[in-house]
Amino acid sequence: MKELFKVKETIVRIIADDYRYIEIAKKKIIETRAELENYIVKEPFFKTTLEPYSCEKNAPEIVKKMCWASELARVGPMASVAGAIAEFAVRAMVENGATYAIVDNGGDVAFFTDREIIVGIYAGDSPISIALKFSPTDKILGVCTSSGTVGHSISFGYADAVTVISENVALADALATAICNEIKENAGEKDIQEVLNNYKIKNLAKGIIVIKGKYLGMAGELPEIVEAKINPEIITKG
């Protein structure tokens, strides 16, 4: 079963076998959003900065997670907000017994699954249309996508899609933004691979995919890649 759930700017699709796990996810999303909002009232620069941000030791857990991701990816903490919220929601579901839990927060997906699932990558006008086929997992995984050509999120890059896979969903979200920022308007296959190689050396993610026009770049450990026709209407977005 699935439910589209909205709280202010957050719009998520929650998937589980039992409705009580969806309710658990909704409660956690409301809770983490409130923690973020209260923190931003005290520290408004946290919301606006595009640079790494260091927070206090007594900050809420989600704030500390976002600051940590921001330091590693070298972007502002809000670059990881969607992934962080999705991660915390799925973790709450799993801690309460869910074996099949998916939260899609605007194309940033956190999941824990006892069955095979397919996660699509929407790359706008690019002719490349693919999806990732994941086997059952014993850990929470994140698949987060950033784009310089699709959507309204802040980006300084020109990739149609940068997708990052990581066991830390907030970090996957932040890295997707950081890598997308490095894909320049005139970047070709060699340029894309150079950016990927730099991040592969840093060893911050399990796998990375970059799509720009007709170019497809890949690095790290990736699941099976399959052709897919992605319907943008099913992507959760504000």
Q: How far is CA 109 from CA 81, 165, 232, in A?
A: 12, 10, 15
pTM for this structure?
Answer: 0.93
What is the per-residue pLDDT for 235? 63
Q: What is the pLDDT of residues 213-238, one digit of tens each?
A: 999 999 999 999 998 877 666 666 54
- Is a pLDDT exceeding 90 seen at residue 201? no
Query: Across 51-55, 101-105, 198-202, which has the greatest mean pLDDT?
Result: 101-105
What is the per-residue pLDDT for 234? 62
> What CATH number is given to the structural domain containing 164?
3.10.520.10
Lowest mean pLDDT among 62-66, 200-204, 226-230, 232-236: 232-236
> How many angstroms separate the CA atoms of 59 and 82, rounded?
18
**Domain assignment present for 238:** no
What is the per-residue pLDDT for 16? 98
What order of strands is seen across the sheet that includes strand 224-227?
A: 117-121, 130-134, 224-227
**Domain assignment present for 221:** yes
**Domain assignment present for 92:** yes
**Domain assignment present for 17:** yes
Mean pLDDT calculated for residue range 200-213:
90
- Is a pLDDT exceeding 70 seen at residue 20? yes
Q: Could you tell me where the beta strands, DSSP code E, fall in the chain?
A: 2-7, 10-16, 100-105, 108-113, 117-121, 130-134, 141-146, 161-166, 207-212, 215-220, 224-227
Q: What is the pLDDT of residues 128-141, one digit of tens each?
A: 999 999 999 999 99
**Domain assignment present for 52:** yes
Nearest alpha-carbon partner for 98 in 31, 8, 28, 166: 28
Q: Give the number of domains in the chain.
A: 1
What is the per-residue pLDDT for 204? 87
**2-7 and 10-16: which strand pairing?**
antiparallel
What is the per-residue pLDDT for 200? 79
Nearest alpha-carbon partner for 126 in 147, 106, 142, 108: 147
**Domain assignment present for 237:** no
> How many angstroms separate the CA atoms of 188 and 164, rounded?
20
Residue appearing with tokens 């972007």 = 75
- Is a pLDDT exceeding 70 seen at residue 183? yes
Query: Across 22-31, 54-63, 155-164, which has the greatest mean pLDDT?
Result: 22-31
**pLDDT interval class at 152 (50, 70, 90):** low
High-pLDDT (> 90) share of the chain, %: 83
Task: Give the domain range for residue 89.
Answer: 2-231
**Domain assignment present for 193:** yes
Q: What is the pLDDT of residues 73-131, one digit of tens each?
A: 999 999 999 999 999 999 999 999 999 999 999 999 999 999 999 999 999 899 999 99
Lowest mean pLDDT among 6-10, 147-151, 195-199, 207-211: 147-151
